[in-house]
Each structure stands twice: as structure tokens, then as C-alpha cells.
Structure 1
């Protein structure tokens, strides 16, 4: 009996050690901002808070609203710096959440703290890339009274966050060449979106170019450049945000 317990104890210890080793290796792997992004974004003008980055208009434009972004799995938040800064330049305060281990579900409720930190901003939107979009959708679902709309970047909600019976404003931006959030998966989850969803497939776009961090395992090759895809995402997002703001004051 003692021998059996000793064997089980050794086996459990080995399993724990292997699990810890795997987690350490896994948690140390992240998708970093590309050299191209560093050349396009002046990071000296980015405000770093404890657990999020803030992008403000680089001109004296009045802040129209706030837009909170959740990162994709294992993607460093500054990989969305170009997208965030370009939207900020159109009059929005943009906050990109910096989650532990770069996994958004660890910071799903961080949006609450961000909103409280800027009491003068009366209108807020939320969005996220890939797994970050899942977190953003979950938060938006539970805070439809305080978050005015959801932006899904190559993402979709979980089944429990079913917006289909509502008119909640949603913008879903997807990629024609996406190898992870594939057009097939987007179609399969379309029934979870609201009656007030604008669904846009960006031609030639893949999954990784929703950020600027290089290639991603399992993805397809895009037929447009990273900057072309980013500029299209910015254009579509800003147009949608502006339209929502016009509706809110009409």
C-alpha cells in the first residue's frame, strides 16, 4: 500500500512538474509588435497605465468617445498600436488592455476600471481581436446599458452571449483569407449576432494582420499588405463609430 502511494505521489509530482514547465514555456511565447509598427507609431506619445495603454488624438481634437480593445491570444497589446493611434487621431480615446500572459480573459472586466478612470467621456465602445473579441463580446453582453457598441475583429461571441434577439450595435470585421477565424466559422456563428450588426469581410485579409505582429501559425497568407489591411480596418471602424455617435445625439 505504501509503495503504491509512493508511486502515485511520484507520478503526481512528475505531472505537476511537466505542467508547470509547459506553462512557463507557453507563457513566455508572445507575438510581438513588428518592426513596421515601430516605424509607424511614436510610442513616446503612448501613455502606459498599470494594465493598459492609452492612445489620444495627436491634434487638439475633442474626444468624441472611448474605445476599449482586448488583445488576441498571446499578442502583445502594442501590436494594435497603429490601429489604435489612427482611430484616436479621429477623435477617440483608445485604450488597449494589457492582460496577464497576454490572455484577455484574465482581464475581462478591466473595461470597468478604464471607464471609471475617464468620467468626462460619456460614450464607450468595446472591441477585440480573436480571443479578445470573445472577451469583449462577453463584457458588452453584460453591460449593454453602459457600452454603446461592440467591434469584433476576426472574432465572434460565445453561445452564452447571444445577441440575436436584440438590436445592440455590432460591427464584425472579418478576413477573406483568415485561417483561424475562418469565413466558415464566421458563418456558423452569425446567428449569435444582433439584428443591428454590420458584417464586413475585408478582401484579401488574413488573421494576423488584424494586428501588426508578423505571421501566425495556422493562418493563411494575405493577398494585401499589412498596412493596407490595417488602413481598411481603421476606415471601417471609424465610419461605424461615427455613425453610432450620430445616432446617439439624433
Structure 2
């Protein structure tokens, strides 16, 4: 018969083992999250930092791109990167929103490079920009999945090579989904299959020649298709579609 003292001893040992397992899992996750980071290509990023029309501010939580002149932005975008993609890799692709449309773009630096693990609310990234009246939340790949989770806190949703796992079909939220015809990860089929989770009037656009990695500047990605669209044309496509989208509700 097990005595009360023996039961307490076994319970203590079991607790120690469970705590050790938790520590090991957490350590493994941290190591994994820092391995294989897809870094921003240097040349496109240098162009953004050297653009006199873009004011760049960087903090521990985000990279902020603002118009260098013309007063406060009326519209802003909080953008979540794809899993294990360096946030700076999206600066060049989104810079035309700043220079051509006078938007403020806040690129999130997610915890452990994984947006789905980042439980901070949108006000973490918008609180210091009270002059912006309308906020779009967006993201690429798994960053878009996170954007869907916090979409209720924003005025609109922008998905780049992504789709929702959250049911937003009953929301009156304006949504723009930009997919790539050559995307080997968030394939056109996957985007189509998740269409029912978006509002009926969501704008669904497939960019011809775009791959998964075409939505950023971080080089090729395993499992992706081959892009046939240039970076310059991709910049223009994204900028044009977003401009039309914002004009439909702002």
C-alpha cells in the first residue's frame, strides 16, 4: 500500500519531470525559431532606407515606414511577416504604399519570428500613431493567418499569399486577398478552398506569375513555384490593388 508520504514523493518527481519537459520543449522551440531565418535581400532594403520619400523608424517591436512629407497619414497598415521571414524583407514590396499613397506601414517583428505565437493586440503597434484614422491589418503566409485572428480590431484586412483559418464570413469587414498564380505554398486551390471563411464581398485577386516569395524580398523558398513576374511589376501590382481597395471603403 502506498503511503501518503510516498504519494507526495511521486507527485513531486512527476512535477519535476513535467517541468523539465516544458523547459526542453520551450528551448527547442526557441532554437528552431532562430534556425533557417529567411533574411531580407540587401539591395531592395537599401533602396527603401535611401528613399528620400520614406521616413524609417525602427524599434524592438516593429519597422515603421512613413511618408517623409505631406503631413500625417490617413490610412495605415499593420503587417505580419510570414513564418521565419525577416520583417525587413517586406519593406521594399510595401514602400510604394508609402510613397504613392501616403500610407503608414508598420511591419511587425513577431515573437520568435512566428506571428502565430505573437499574442500582442494591434494597439501595441498603432498606439503611438494616433494621427492615423483608418487601420488595415495584413500579412503574408502564416502572418496572414495571424492578421485574420486580430481582424476584428482593424477597419480592413489584407492577405498576401495567405488565407484565413478564422471564420470572418459574418463580419462586414472589407477584405482584399492577393494570391499568386505560381504560389506553391498558399496555392490558388488552398486560397479558393478557404474562400468561404471570408465575407461574400471580399475582393479575390490572383496575380499572374507571382510565387509565394514574390510578396517579399527574401530569395527562393522551399516548396514554392517559380515566379515569372519581376519585382518591379510585383510592386506595381500590389500598390495598384491596395489603392483600389482602400478607395472602396476609406
Indicate the TM-score class for this superposition, using the shorter chain for normalisation: 0.7 to 0.9
| Superimposed CA distance per residue, residues 152-180 of structure 1 (whole angstroms, 9 cap, x where no aligned partner) | 1111111xx21223332000000000000
TM-score, normalised via structure 2 length: 0.83
Aligned residue among 120, 125, 128 for 1:114 = 125
Q: CA RMSD, aligned part only?
A: 2.6
Aligned-partner SS, 2:179: strand
Unaligned runs of 5+ in 1: 246-250
Aligned residue among 33, 42, 55 for 2:49 = 42
CA contact (8 A) 1:54 1:95 kept: yes
| Matched pairs, number | 232
* 1:31 and 2:41 correspond: no
Q: In structure 2, what is the Cα distance between the partners aligned to 1:126 and 1:18?
A: 31
List, as ranges, runs of 4+ consecutive aligned residues in structure 1 with deviation greater than 4 Å: 12-23
CA contact (8 A) 1:168 1:195 kept: no
* 1:92 and 2:92 correspond: no
Aligned-partner SS, 1:227: helix
TM-score, normalised via structure 1 length: 0.83
Unaligned runs of 5+ in 2: 1-9, 11-15
Q: In structure 1, what is the Cα distance between the partners aligned to 2:225 and 2:214?
A: 11
Deviation of the 1:196 alpha carbon: 2.2
Q: In structure 1, what is the Cα distance between the partners aligned to 2:98 and 2:172?
A: 26
Q: In structure 1, what is the Cα distance between the partners aligned to 2:207 and 2:238?
A: 8
Higher deviation after alignment, 219-228 or 173-182: 219-228
Aligned-partner SS, 2:95: helix
CA contact (8 A) 1:57 1:85 kept: no
Greater Rg, structure 1 or structure 2?
A: 2
